[in-house]
Amino acid sequence: MIVREPRRRPQPFHARIASTSRRWKYPFIALEWFWEWVAHILSNWAFLEVLEYLGSFSVLVAVIFYFSESGDRVKQRHYQAWQVINTAQGKGGSGGRIEALEELNEDKVPLVGVDVSSAFLQGIQLERANLLRANFNSADLRNSNLRGCNFTLADLGSANFRDAKLDHSTFNQGDLRNADLHGSSLVGADFPGAALDGADLRFADLANIRWQFIRSIAHANIAGARNAPAGFVAWALKNGAINLPDAGD
C-alpha cells in the first residue's frame, strides 16, 4: 500500500535567510528553498499518487502475463531443442544435441524415435528417458548416465557405451549388435528379444540382468564380465559367445 504524506509549507524566504548573516550562503539557501516548494507542491498533487498506483498495477499485470504465458515459453523452448536435434541428424559431433536432449528429458518429454546416429554424446545425462525406437547407431555414449531408460525397439548397433551407466534399463527387442559395453554397468537390465551379437561385454557389471529371453548373443565377448547371474555364462558360450580377454580394442 502506498502512503503519501503532504509536506509542510516552506517558510517565507525572508524568514529563511534571517537565520544567517553570511550573504554568500544566500544562493544555496534560495536553491534549497525553491526545491522545498517544488516538493511541497508535488506532494499535494493527486495525479502523482495515481501514477504510483498505476506503476504498481503495471507490475502486477506484468507478473500475471508472465505466468499466463509460461506454457507458451516452455513449448517454444521444446521446439527449439527439437530443431537442434533434427538439424544435426545424421551428422557427427554434438551440435548442441547433448543439452537439447537433456533439457527435453528433464521436462519429461518422451524422446520416442529420436535419431542421433553417429552423434558424439559422451557423458550425456538421460536417466529414465523414454527412447522407444530411438536410433543411436554408432553414437558415442561413453561415460553416460542412461539408468532406467526405455530402449524398446531401439537401434543401438555399434554404439559406444563404454563405462556408461545402464542399470535397470529395458532393451526389449533392442538391436545391440556390435555395441561396445566394455566396463559398463548393466545391473538389473532387461533384455527380452534383444540381439547382442558381436557386443563387447568385457568387464561389464551384469548383476541381476534378466537374460533368459535374449534373442541372440553370437560372438559377443563376455571375458571378465562381473557378477553374471547363475547360468548366464554357460548359456552364452553355448549360444556362440566368446571369452577373449585380450581381444583388440
* Residues 27-64 pLDDT 10s: 766 777 677 766 766 666 655 566 566 666 566 655 55
Q: Is the pLDDT of residue 102 over 50?
A: yes
* Residues 117-142 pLDDT 10s: 999 999 999 999 999 999 999 999 99
pLDDT attached to residue 91 = 80
Q: What angle do CA 71, 96, 166 make, to 5 degrees?
A: 90
| Stated pTM of the model | 0.72
Here the CATH number for the domain that contains residue 125 is: 2.160.20
Query: Of 102, 141, 99, nearest to 118 (Cα)?
Result: 141
Query: Does any domain span residue 153?
Result: yes
CA atoms 236, 194, 97, 188: torsion sign: negative
Task: Please tell me whether residues 42 and 76 are part of one structural domain.
Answer: no
Query: Does any domain span residue 20?
Result: yes
* Residues 179-216 pLDDT 10s: 999 999 999 999 999 999 999 999 999 999 999 999 99
CA distances from 139 to 10, 18, 134 (A): 80, 89, 12
Task: Please tell me whether residues 85 and 164 are part of one structural domain.
Answer: yes
CA distance 152 to 155: 9
Query: Of 185, 191, 194, 202, nearest to 243 (Cα)?
Result: 202
Better pLDDT: 36 or 172: 172
Task: Please tell me whether residues 24 and 94 are part of one structural domain.
Answer: no
CA distance 4 to 106: 48
Question: Cell numbers of 230, please?
Answer: 547363475
